Amino acid sequence: MLLFLALPLLLFQAAVTGATPTEHPKRWLGVQPLVDHVSKGPFGPWPPICTSQAVCYCFANERSQANLEKIVNQAVAKWAHAFLNSALEIVPDNEDALLCTNPAVRADALVISDATKDNDKKWNHGPDCPTDSASTGYDYDSDDRGRHRLDFCHFDPDDRKGTVALAVQAMMHELGHAIGLQHEHARNDRSDFLEFRCEKLEGYEEAKRLVELDERAHFEDDEGLEDRLRLVCADDDIASDYLPAAVAFVRAKDHRLASEKRKWKYYKRSGPFDFDSIMIYNSFANSPGDVDGMDPKNWVLKRKGKDGEAGGVWQGGSPKASEARISEGDVARVCFSASLALASHSICFVPGSDTISQVAQLYPKRDGSSNDAMALDKWGVSKGKRLKVKVRGVEVIVAAPRPLDG
């Protein structure tokens, strides 16, 4: 069965009966919700505009638009189930002016930039070509133009057919950061679920040489190589100098760089771990480009099981980029906040449950109603079903979110 959803405008009504409000452990790591339109920390959800909370974007230049517009449209469509259950939208800041240089585009728009270079495969597929989100959510501490930035390097303009699936998967992930979500594998309790094998990272052998030289004076003279390598894998300040590939794996509590501590101080996480989240890295992420990423001996991340190793983890739930999807946990991340103590609560249907959970929402339903779930079966209309989505005039069929991994 297909449900039709036209983005960004969506309203889907159905009856909810026999449901009882209850607390529910939320599945997310990211920014906290707004309280009376005020962010608790420097970063928060995007501010409400009329009846929605929209992540508004533009393209840095004509080349970025030409290369990435279709990639962005496809990635936005993949988040459709989250839009159905919240007031969140991901839309151009100005439909008639997609370039950030146009004066009609606001200063706080998310600037999407293609960081690749034409006819330069070494750069495009090398470690120095950045795919990076400058902020997680909306930056409330600054009013600088371009402060929300998404630099993208996963779509090779010289190999469009060969890289489009990977590019859509990566854009889904980066848009998750723009929404306000952080890496699932950066949770403080990661070691309960994953084995992080730092020695498999790109640049690890060079890091051995650099930490022995220690030109940035991070270590005491009597610290041995083993201790130095342990620190370079776990400390973002040291990793940024000697092993940049490790920075994205640093746990929340281990950030020491002032700019990162400023962000991570206010992030909140859920109880359960979401192995299929679009916000988790693949097992082979940041490993050397010349190794077989599907060979477990080269994996950076390994999933733990009751009796030891239990295989790989995959961004969006599949080792094939073309099959990547958001998870039910990702939808819950958008729908729920980490706090149950706000003065104004919304009622939200719990993914994978027959009950309704009364919690404050990161992106509440667009009508602002405190009992909208009593009139809208917010999850039941989409759970387990595909959606036919229209994004900027193009219809896309979106697979249902991956079920929560019990």
CA distance 155 to 167: 5
Q: What is the pLDDT of residue 371?
A: 42
Total structural domains within the chain:
1
Band of residue 257 on the pLDDT scale cut at 50, 70, 90: low
Q: Angle 204-213/225-232 helices, nearest 10 degrees?
A: 120
Q: Kindly state whether residue 72 falls inside one of the protein's structural domains.
A: no
Band of residue 306 on the pLDDT scale cut at 50, 70, 90: low
Q: Kindly state whether residue 143 falls inside one of the protein's structural domains.
A: no
Q: Kindly state whether residue 217 falls inside one of the protein's structural domains.
A: yes
CA distance 5 to 11: 8
* Residue among 331, 328, 329, 354 nearest 85 (CA): 331
User: Which tokens is 230 given?
Assistant: 């342990």
* Burial bucket for residue 390 (CB in 10 Å: 0-12, 13-18, 19+): middle
Q: What is the pLDDT of residue 262?
A: 60
Please list the alpha-helical segments (H only) found in 79-159. 80-84, 121-124
Band of residue 397 on the pLDDT scale cut at 50, 70, 90: confident
Rg (CA), the chain: 21
Strands 110-114 and 52-59: parallel
Q: What is the pLDDT of residues 209-243, one digit of tens each?
A: 999 999 999 999 999 999 999 999 999 899 999 99
Listed in sequence order, the residues at least 6 apart from 314 whose beta carbon sits closer than 8 Å to its beta carbon are: 276, 280, 282, 283, 324
User: Which tokens is 223 given?
Assistant: 């610290």
Q: What mean pLDDT comes out for the span 19-31?
A: 42
* Residue among 106, 177, 98 nearest 136 (CA): 177
Q: Cβ distance 379 to 365 under 8 Å?
A: no
Residues 279, 280, 284, CA angle at the centre, nearest 5°? 140
Band of residue 313 on the pLDDT scale cut at 50, 70, 90: very high
* Parent domain of 204: 188-266+281-314
Q: Kindly state whether residue 249 falls inside one of the protein's structural domains.
A: yes
pTM score: 0.82
Residue 336 predicted with pLDDT over 90 = no
Q: Kindly state whether residue 238 falls inside one of the protein's structural domains.
A: yes
Q: Is 62 helix (H, G, I), strand (E, B) or coil?
A: helix
> Contacts by 304-313 with C-beta closer than 8 Å and gap 24+?
304/192, 304/193, 304/194, 304/195, 309/195, 312/282, 312/283, 312/284, 313/185, 313/194, 313/275, 313/280, 313/281, 313/282, 313/283
Residue 319 predicted with pLDDT over 80 = yes
Q: Kindly state whether residue 227 falls inside one of the protein's structural domains.
A: yes
Percent of the chain with pLDDT over 90: 44
> Contacts by 162-166 with C-beta closer than 8 Å and gap 24+?
164/71, 165/320, 165/321, 165/322, 166/321
Q: Kindly state whether residue 205 falls inside one of the protein's structural domains.
A: yes
Phi, psi of 186 (to 5 degrees): -100, 5
Q: Kindly state whether residue 211 falls inside one of the protein's structural domains.
A: yes
